[in-house]
Amino acid sequence: MITIDEALDRILAQVHPIGAEEVRLLDALGRTSAESIVSPEQVPDFANSAMDGFAVSGAELEAGRREFRVVVDIPAGTYVGEPIGQGDAARIMTGAPLPPGVDTVVQVEHTVVDDDIMTVETAPATGANVRDAGEDVRTGDVIFEKGTLLGAAEVGLLAAVGVERARVARRPRVAILATGSELVAAGRPLAPGQIRNSNSFTAYGQVAGAGADPILLGIARDDLDETRRLMAAALENDVVITSGGVSVGDYDFVKQVQDELGVDRKFWGVATKPGKPLAFGVRGSTLVFGVPGNPVAAMVSFELYVRPALLALQGRADIWRPWFNARSGEPVRRAKDRTEVRRCRLTHDPDGTIRYTTTGPQGSGILSSMAGAEGLIFVPARYPGGEVGTEMLVTLLAGSTAERPPYPNPPVEG
């Protein structure tokens, strides 16, 4: 068995970014930019007023002038090209371009107006309340780097600089295959001894959540021909996730079919609980993950190993979950010979410190302990147990960061 970090290194060594495609701006939301974006425009395009008020010459204010004649009205969207002369002011609205001859805006609250005479009661400094041309983005600035997730702000920023289409990473196509003769699809009656297939559904959500394209291939019964047929179809995609059939008694089966189909196995077995019988291999550029059948083990394995790979395929640098140390709200149970990954919810102490509490029974089949979980805690192997308040590494089950979590990695014997 290898450590979490060793498994991640072996997986990430096999990831080669996939191609790109061009999409319309709104379709770029949630995708990863396949190029660094150099702004073709400056924002704002012209110096403009940050306030409703009066545009005047700062030099005249500095020289002591307080009375100005209001000679023009400038609403947003109007451009006045004639210079404002000495002793004159322009009534100006927020966002409207400054006319030539003035460089300072006195906000309306600091003035008194009588007919067309405006008196300044509190003089601002020269240049006050003016947004300079290019103060947000200058032409030629790199507004974001290749590999950036395009969220609401990034798509808005592209719109702000006049970009209408974006080159984004292709969505990795991820085949999802459940294995096991005991499995029944949702909607079918359950015969004695059968269980429902939940792994295909959790995997679908996790794949979609990582910006990839889930392709459900259904259930392969424990039958060589059926597994061969479905596995062959699965291998036509960028990534394959099979669930089940990787535990000691079972493994020969999925393994035999993958061997026949030319999958080059990179490891089988990671020293974590849950998630020990994880298998990983490649065929050509296709990444092949065999996650354990138990529903929590399947989800945790995806979180730890498949998700970073899916993000890396899209060229993302922020492939990790945000992490921090948090204090336990309960005594910490001991761990045996593997790093234990437990599900938790997070609360804030009155001083703002984050506290975690595990979500009830932590068995690898207890899917309800995943539902509503906000984070995972990592308890080092052979941890003797600890008191309320003990700090543990927590990774969130949402968001992304480029900083890899410092997973506890004890030496693994045997």
In angstroms, give the least distance from the CB of 199 to Mg ion: 10
Stretch that binds ligand AMP, among 34-42, 242-250, 350-358, 396-404 (CB under 6 A): 242-250
Residue 250 or 330: which CB sits closer to Mg ion? 250
Rank residues 111 and 197 by Cβ distance to ligand AMP and give the closer one. 197
* Residue 247 binding partner per list ligand AMP, Mg ion, none, with a CB distance cut-off of 5 to 8 Å that depends on partner kind: ligand AMP
Is the CB of 179 or the CB of 328 nearer to ligand AMP? 179
Tell me how long the chain is. Answer: 414
How far apart, in whole angstroms, are the C-alpha atoms of residue 209 and residue 212?
7
Burial class (CB in 10 A: 0-12, 13-18, 19+), 388: exposed
Token pair listed for 102: 């003035």
Nearer to ligand AMP, 227 or 294 (CB): 294
Residue 53 binding ligand AMP, by CB under 6 A: no
Options 70-78, 211-219, 236-244, 331-339: segment touching Mg ion (CB under 5 A): 236-244
The distance of closest approach from Cβ of residue 227 to Mg ion in the complex, given in angstroms and rounded to an integer, is 11
Angle, helices 251-260/224-234, rounded to nearest 10 degrees: 60
CB of 400 to ligand AMP, least distance (A): 27
Residue 300 in tokens: 């945790």
Which lies closer to ligand AMP via its Cβ, residue 250 or residue 330?
250
Residue 120's φ and ψ, nearest 5 degrees, are -85, 125
Q: Could you say which of 32, 42, 57, 199 contacts ligand AMP (CB under 6 A)?
A: 199
Residue 79: exposure state from Cβ atoms within 10 A (0-12, 13-18, ≥19): exposed
245 binds Mg ion (CB under 5 A): yes
Contact positions with ligand AMP (CB under 6 A) in 147-186? 178, 180, 182-183
Nearer to Mg ion, 129 or 199 (CB): 199
Instruction: Give the separation between CA 220 and CA 222, rounded to whole angstroms.
Output: 6
User: 246-305: which residues touch ligand AMP (CB under 6 A)?
Assistant: 246-247, 250, 292-295
Separation CA 395–CA 320 (nearest Å): 9
Burial label, 353 (beta-carbon count in 10 A; 0-12, 13-18, 19+)? exposed
CA distance 365 to 279: 19
> Of the candidates 189, 170, 18, 226, which has an alpha carbon nearest to the alpha carbon of residue 242?
226
Choices 113-121, 238-246, 281-289, 381-389; region in contact with Mg ion by CB under 5 A: 238-246
Select from 8-16, 26-34, 131-139, 247-255 the region that touches Mg ion (CB under 5 A): 247-255
| Contact call for residue 237 and ligand AMP (CB under 6 A) | no
- Which DSSP category does 25 fall into? G
Distance CA 202, CA 296 (A): 10
Q: CB-wise, 218 or 389, nearer to ligand AMP?
A: 218
Residues that bind Mg ion (CB under 5 A): 180, 244-245, 250
Residues that bind ligand AMP (CB under 6 A): 178, 180, 182-183, 195, 197-200, 243-247, 250, 292-295
